[in-house]
Structure 1
Amino acid sequence: MKRVRFAGLIAMLVSAATASGSAPDPETAKMRAIVIHAYGGPEVMKLEHMARPEPADDEILIRVVAASINPVDVAIRKGYLAKLVGNFPLILGMDASGIVEKIGNKVTKYKAGDPVFAFFTLKGEGGYAEFVTAKEDELAPKPSTISFAQAAGVGAAGATAWEALIGTANLHAGQTVLIHGGSGGVGHLAIQIAKAKGAKVFATASTANQEFLRQMGADVAIDYTRTKFENVAKDVDVVLDTVGRDTLERSYGAVKKGGIIVSIVDEPKSAALEAHGIRGVTLRCTPKAGVLEELSKLMEAKKLTPVISQTFPMTQAVQAQDQIATGHTRGKIVLNIGQDPVHRAL
């Protein structure tokens, strides 16, 4: 009788442990990630196996398919933003795309299996990993019109372009905008957003990227190696500066009175702004679900298409960052993290 009771007690304890969530299998709880344990050159990035994150009540766990490489990733790795990011070990990556794996108890907008793209906070980041957690305000549904690689490339760059042109400059139909660095990650998306809003677009890029600017929708493509942009783009309503320094200095005179310069890399000078009767803003973009959803709508309508010029496996994260650090990347660079569900199903 005692033996039966003892066996029953053991069964009850096992059942209770299972119901409350037993410890996950050590193998399935691991993931691969690009991690840094100190600031420095590309050599500080290591591909490691580490514990898979678990979503908090207000978080979504994403199985990552692809992650984008951004210039800010290099700045974070070098320690330039040390006061704004989390503690070591750091997993880099400001944006990614993938499939919802699991949701917290308070999440209402998403469910397991949903395809999404994300833009993370500096404190959170973590896109260079097989799994990452995010809050609902950092996500939007992935449009069916684009690939996971393209979706990975639109979060940070697309949100920055939108916030600069629409959120900050209030660009609208009939206005003119000058976009510096029009062939880059932010620039090529900004051209398409501006055209979708009915604006006339002047865009600058090198000789090799002139046709690319036109393909993106630029009304006037300017080769900055051969032509001074201020001789072509005059009295524009808005300047989006992704270059800074001398380019910003020469932009004050290209803006009509009452217009605005939005720079994502430099600080417009108050004296120069006042002298020309214009406004100037330095933009530091943060995730907003509403902005990501607007980008998603444009992509669904085929008015916005992220261009991916290069893809790299996780094992070549160093080469991917080396390329973005050149400052001459056309469109976006993406890391392939996990298998595309479409390809996996074939």
Structure 2
Amino acid sequence: MSAVVVATGYGGPEVLSVIDEPVSEPGPGEVRIAVRAAGVNPIDYKAYSGAFGSDPANLPMRLGAEAAGVVTAVGENAEGPAGPVTVGDEVIAFRASGAYAADLVVPAESVVPKPEAMSWEQAAGLLLTGATAVHALHVAAPREGETLLLHGGAGGVGSIAVQLAVAQGVRVIATGSPAKHDLLRGLGAEPVAYGDGLADRVRAAAPEGVQSAIDTVGTDEAIDVSLELVEDRRRIVTIAAFGRAPGEGIALIGGGPGADPGDDIRSAARLQLTEAVADGRLDVLVARAYPMAAVATAHRDIADGHVSGKLVLIP
């Protein structure tokens, strides 16, 4: 038997439970992983919140999409993007349905090698936010020497997008509370405080103008300021402003209604991201790790929206 997290109903974190389920054997093209850490993401709590529907047929609902661990069994022809997967390999799995688990069976094609320098917690938090950051940068298309405005630079997606953009020679102006400004500077961004007067503060920091914008927070302020400062609306991308994006002619990406999932871009991003980590060009900020039994607390914390970096669960 293996511990897994399920939502037994629709609502808030109070509907979450940890239960035991039988451990499956991997079939052809599959691998089994002993999970060392699982990433926590906003889409996880939105799945059972009712935001995407409340069909009782989907209950109980397993949660999670990314995990890191050790391969304990392989099926026939178990081959991932980096080649054959074998027992004992240290790997990261994404997309991995039901990743909040002590043991996980996933298609081998969802598994990539874990960089040696990464902790389990960092590895579990790399690929969902990292692939989102790569997708956002692909759409916003900041070029070397240009200025990118990034709303929410200290969050999971934002902190990776800052590092990737800076590594490409892009100047990044990132919003965040004053308490996060030192962190943003450490990532290579120029921080500005959000709130009244944001557009003027950005103009003062970048009098030559802003050519693209990425919104990871979904506030009206983030969208309004981006529209005010970026001339080409096609180079404004949001992962959160589902209500605003369609009417404003800006790009909406991700897993929500009407969003571009960017499956091919995100799949290709997995090995790009692990290579960037291995080369020392990218670091994953882990804000907190929780035992699996504290999953409800983790979801309350991530829903609060003020986390710097990633939250992870430890089975």
Structure whose CA Rg is larger: 1
The structural deviation recorded for 1:193 is: 0.9
The amino acid that maps onto 2:202 is V
The amino acid that maps onto 1:302 is G
Partner of 1:116: 91
- Work out which of the residue numbers 123, 127, 131 in structure 2 matches 1:151: 123
Between the two proteins, the alignment pairs up a number of residues equal to: 297
The structural deviation recorded for 1:33 is: 1.0
| C-alpha distance in structure 2 between counterparts of 1:86 and 1:212, whole Å | 44
The structural deviation recorded for 1:89 is: 2.5
The structural deviation recorded for 1:173 is: 2.0
The structural deviation recorded for 1:85 is: 12
Partner of 2:258: none
Name structure 1 gaps, 5 residues minimum: 1-29, 274-279, 338-346
Tell me the TM-score normalized by structure 1.
0.80
Partner of 2:253: 283
Partner of 1:314: 292
Partner of 2:159: 188
Q: What are the Cα deviations for residues 1-52 of structure 1, in whole angstroms up to 9, with x where unaligned?
A: xxxxxxxxxxxxxxxxxxxxxxxxxxxxx10111122222212111111111
1:330 to 2:308 alignment: yes
Tell me the TM-score normalized by structure 2.
0.87
The amino acid that maps onto 1:143 is P
| C-alpha distance in structure 1 between counterparts of 2:55 and 2:136, whole Å | 21
The structural deviation recorded for 1:117 is: 1.2
SS at match of 1:256: coil
Partner of 1:341: none
1:223 to 2:221 alignment: no
Is contact 2:31–2:106 with CA below 8 Å preserved after alignment? yes
1:50 to 2:21 alignment: yes
- CA gap of 1:249–1:86, structure 2 versus 1, over 3 A, is farther
SS at match of 1:324: helix
The structural deviation recorded for 1:314 is: 0.9
The amino acid that maps onto 1:318 is A
Is contact 2:39–2:66 with CA below 8 Å preserved after alignment? yes
The amino acid that maps onto 1:296 is T
Please list, as runs of the form range in 1=range in 2, the aligned pairs for 1:138-177 lying within 5 A after superposition.
138-166=110-138, 168-177=139-148
The structural deviation recorded for 1:271 is: 6.3
The structural deviation recorded for 1:169 is: 2.7
Please list, as runs of the form range in 1=range in 2, the aligned pairs for 1:82-93 lying within 5 A after superposition.
82=53, 87-93=58-64
- CA gap of 1:85–1:215, structure 2 versus 1, over 3 A, is farther
- Work out which of the residue numbers 228, 231, 241 in structure 1 matches 2:215: 241
| Identity %, equivalent residues | 33
- CA gap of 1:84–1:281, structure 2 versus 1, over 3 A, is farther
Name structure 2 gaps, 5 residues minimum: 255-260
- CA gap of 1:148–1:205, structure 2 versus 1, over 3 A, is same
Is contact 1:139–1:292 with CA below 8 Å preserved after alignment? no
The amino acid that maps onto 1:151 is A
Give the CA RMSD over aligned residues. Answer: 2.3
SS at match of 2:240: coil
1:256 to 2:231 alignment: yes
